[in-house]
Amino acid sequence: MTMQEHTADPALDFYQFDLLLTPEEREVRDRVRGFMQREVKPIINEYWEKGEFPFELIPKLAELKVCGGTIQGYGCPGLSSVATGLVAAEMAKVDGSVCTFFGVTSGLAMSSIYYCGSEAQKEYWLPKLASMEKIGAFALTEPDNGSDASHIQTTARLDGDHYVLNGQKRWIGNASFADVIIVWARDEATNQVTGFLVEKGTPGFEATVMHGKIAKRALWNAEIKLENCRIPTSNRLEKARSFKDTAVVLANTRFGVAWEGVGHAQAAYEMALRYSQERKQFGKPIAGYQLIQEKLVKMLAEVVAMELTTWRLSVLRDQGLMTDGQSSLAKMNNSAKARQIVALGREIFGGNGLLLENHIARHFADMEAVYTYEGSNEINTLVVGREITGVPAFV
């Protein structure tokens, strides 16, 4: 695409970000954008307010053929990291709950199997998850071990040709209905963290939906109890030998959360800009007042920086050059900046920004979840600090 062919609204693509994308990446973005605007936006407020998930969307999501992201083979789309990130951004730009529902299967669950599973596990599960015939979940976080994920207390004890799992997990998206849950536990024999494929209906596994959330209300998070849950040894992820292997999965999905922050920020900026041009006070559109313009410019500056940083991170990932610190820096920075941007957008809407019908309220609330998960702001900060100083500030 030449500069002459670039037709995006300059107020929405201020640094001509579109020119950095390949035709294939733009096609994926536009395919997902159209779906989210057409199928999700008209219905999501009702589901979000009720705390229910629109399960009828799953077959339509599957038709997008983007589940599995960058994974090559096994029925997966084999997208570039940029295209995979754009999927997350476009979903978040309309709704964070649907974005996270999709990302748990496409990112965390499928990446766990792809990076840590046996060939047999990949061949069985990845095509089913890519087609969304099956839904996945990823169970790492525990009630007493949120940020300190490497010291999980869930245990796995070998008993003949089975492992026996005992413990608790919390905040596990999709777990109450997923067909396979990647459960991370400490092997009692080696004292190392490893992963297990726990299939739906396994005795000793119980998932209870959590209620009372203020963010991503349409996403079903669950509390999990594992009581003498027997898993065949064939369901152990054979390449998950320590928390370092778990960390590989997290680093390779964290870039997607950085893109999610981009989507929320883009939505807030675009909605606030449009609203400011339409809303009149004291005889003229509020876009004509200096304080509103200052807010909009601050929002735009951060959106542009987030887009360019996250695009570069994705290019480095495809080149095999992305580090843990780079992934953490993008997630840390984007979630913090997006949190500020949605707050400014809500301010521009004034009292109307508190109403779900204007959508900005959902983004305002949902960014609290994005800011917290996939490594809190503090933990991601320390991951970057460790990488640039060579000195870990936490164990």
Calpha distance 246→320 (Å, rounded): 18
The CA-based diameter of the chain, rounded to the nearest angstrom, is 79
DSSP letter, residue 266: H
pLDDT digits 0-9 by tens, 6-58? 556 888 999 999 999 999 999 999 999 999 999 999 999 999 999 999 999 99
DSSP letter, residue 219: S
What is the per-residue pLDDT for 36?
97
> Any idea of the CA torsion for 105, 100, 89, 323, to the nearest 10 degrees?
-70
pLDDT digits 0-9 by tens, 152-206? 999 999 999 999 999 999 999 999 999 999 999 999 999 999 999 999 999 999 9
Is the pLDDT reported for residue 3 higher than 50? no
Mean residue pLDDT of the chain comes to 94
Three-state SS string across 80-120, please? CHHHHHHHHHHHHHHCHHHHHHHHHHHHHHHHHHHHHCCHH
- Coil, helix or strand for 350? helix
Domains, the chain, in order of start with CATH, read 3-130 (1.10.540.10), 136-235 (2.40.110.10), 243-389 (1.20.140.10)
* Kind and range of the H or E run holding 195: strand 193-199
- Coil, helix or strand for 305? helix
Q: Which is more confident, 262 or 145?
A: 262
Q: End-to-end distance of the chain based on CA atoms, in angstroms?
A: 48
What is the per-residue pLDDT for 365?
97
What is the per-residue pLDDT for 95?
97
- Coil, helix or strand for 316? helix
Report field, pTM of the whole predicted structure over 0.85: yes
What is the per-residue pLDDT for 1?
52
pLDDT digits 0-9 by tens, 67-87? 999 999 999 999 999 999 999
pLDDT digits 0-9 by tens, 347-359? 999 999 999 999 9
Q: For residues 110 and 129, is the Cβ–Cβ distance under 8 A? A: yes
Q: Which residues contact 167 (CB under 8 A, 6 or more apart)?
A: 142, 152, 153, 154, 155, 185, 226
Is the pLDDT reported for residue 252 higher than 80? yes
What is the percent of the chain where pLDDT is above 70? Answer: 96
